[in-house]
Chains A and B, each alone.
Chain A
Amino acid sequence: KQEVTQIPAALSVPEGENLVLNCSFTDSAIYNLQWFRQDPGKGLTSLLLIQSSQREQTSGRLNASLDKSSGRSTLYIAASQPGDSATYLCAVTSGGGADGLTFGKGTHLIIQP
């Protein structure tokens, strides 16, 4: 059974810092990996999707890498801003879009102004 772990569980830093959030998964036979953002009491916003054949994806100040063989992904946030404060979730799927996602518990991020 796939398990997804995210470290750290919580992180609080001053704005402007560069951050790295970590995600690991136990079964390397994944189809893709996604990073989401969840604001308190809200749904999910997809940030980046990495296919199993890819090594990284970038969107603005966000960069996600994937090392499928070691079961790891990192989300890099450059020049953090208070608006980046949210919970960041990592999720994997083994069978493509037709299969459900397995989520980690998330990293609760606070960016101090």
Chain B
Amino acid sequence: SQQGEEDPQALSIQEGENATMNCSYKTSINNLQWYRQNSGRGLVHLILIRSNEREKHSGRLRVTLDTSKKSSSLLITASRAADTASYFCATDKAAGNKLTFGGGTRVLVKP
């Protein structure tokens, strides 16, 4: 199975609502990253949180990391139609430069 697994697989919300998605992983990590992928496009980096950090903010994004539970969450506040995309968490193992991606959460923001 993949190192990172997102939950839920799909999410549908109204514009203005918050969207929360979770990521679980199995092995020790140096950092955890979140990426967005619009349909038919490449992945775009959103935020990186290091293993010694618990929370990080970037604009309308809030990421938490709980290394004891091996889990992370991504919160998008005040969602917009333009936030419609797939969101992936990605982890590196404690050794090596391999970034392993989860299966993603498909988010639909309805106007």
A binds B: no
B residues whose Cβ falls under 8 Å from a Cβ of A: none
